């Protein structure tokens, strides 16, 4: 016979949390280029660590303010460009990492097709966003504002069941104890 209902309840709760599959949280990162040249957001599984690339993203969007052109992750993954693509984001520092791609140092997504069109390209003169890479220097920006938020982790289903069963068990034990704790009064 079980003598300690609270210890069984704690054991069930711990078993539910430890035995259930953990649902990873999603981190959403919003970015705006200085002077509002472009803005967008991307998301990734928050359990990823280190530097991530396009293949690690669950969503991506980018809109240029001047042209209104928008791009998403399906465009990036479609390969509708011939030269190169690059994306490096440090999940620890929550910042973009400058890397080299296609012979050009880039800070974010240098997607360049055969016509010389790209998203963001960094060269010795600064960082540029351009619909025409060579002539887009009027869209230069020097900084990127980044904000991020974490979308909460759902409670794994086994833990939910364990908590529910534990709650019913504790309520039942409380009612049972209350019924047996009544004093018996005898008549003399």
pLDDT over threshold 80, residue 103: no
What angle, rounded to 10 degrees, do the helices at 5-19 and 157-180 form? Answer: 170
Task: Centre a 10 Å sphere on the Cβ of residue 129 and count the other Cβ atoms it contains.
Answer: 23
pLDDT over threshold 60, residue 89: yes
Q: What is the pLDDT of residue 125?
A: 42
Q: Which residue has the higher pLDDT, 76 or 44?
A: 44
Q: What is the pLDDT of residue 45?
A: 92
Tokens 């002077």 belong to: 35
pLDDT over threshold 80, residue 150: yes
Instruction: Give the mean pLDDT of the chain.
Output: 65
As a whole-number percent, the residues of the chain with pLDDT over 90 amount to 4
Q: What is the pLDDT of residue 134?
A: 39
What whole-number distance in Å separates Cα of residue 182 and Cα of residue 188? Answer: 19
The 10s digit of each residue's pLDDT in 4-18 is 666 665 655 555 555
Going from N- to C-terminal start, the domains of the chain cover 26-151
Classify burial at 79, counting beta carbons within 10 Å of its beta carbon; exposed 0-12, middle 13-18, buried 19 or more.
exposed
Q: Which residue has the higher pLDDT, 137 or 60?
A: 60
Contact 121, 133 (CB under 8 A): yes
Contact 72, 61 (CB under 8 A): yes
Tokens 């097709």 belong to: 113
As a whole-number percent, the residues of the chain with pLDDT over 70 amount to 42
pLDDT over threshold 70, residue 102: no
- Band of residue 135 on the pLDDT scale cut at 50, 70, 90: very low
Classify burial at 188, counting beta carbons within 10 Å of its beta carbon; exposed 0-12, middle 13-18, buried 19 or more.
exposed
């Amino acid at each position: 016979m079980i003598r300690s209902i609270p210890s069984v309840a704690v054991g069930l709760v711990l078993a539910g949390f430890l035995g259930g599959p953990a649902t990873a949280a999603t981190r959403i990162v919003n970015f705006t280029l200085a002077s509002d040249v472009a803005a967008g957001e991307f998301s990734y599984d928050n359990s990823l660590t280190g530097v991530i690339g396009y293949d690690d993203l669950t969503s991506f969007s980018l809109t240029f303010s001047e042209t209104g052109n928008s791009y998403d992750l399906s465009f990036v993954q479609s390969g509708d460009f011939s030269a190169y693509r690059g994306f490096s984001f440090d999940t620890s520092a929550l910042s973009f990492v400058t890397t080299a791609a296609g012979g050009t140092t880039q800070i974010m997504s240098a997607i360049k097709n055969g016509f010389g069109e790209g998203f963001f390209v960094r060269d010795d003169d600064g960082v540029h966003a351009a619909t025409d890479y060579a002539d887009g220097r009027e869209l230069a920006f020097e900084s990127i504002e980044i904000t991020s938020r974490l979308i909460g982790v759902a409670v794994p289903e086994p833990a939910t069941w364990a908590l529910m069963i534990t709650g019913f068990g504790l309520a039942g034990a409380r009612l049972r104890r209350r019924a047996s704790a009544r004093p018996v009064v005898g008549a003399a």
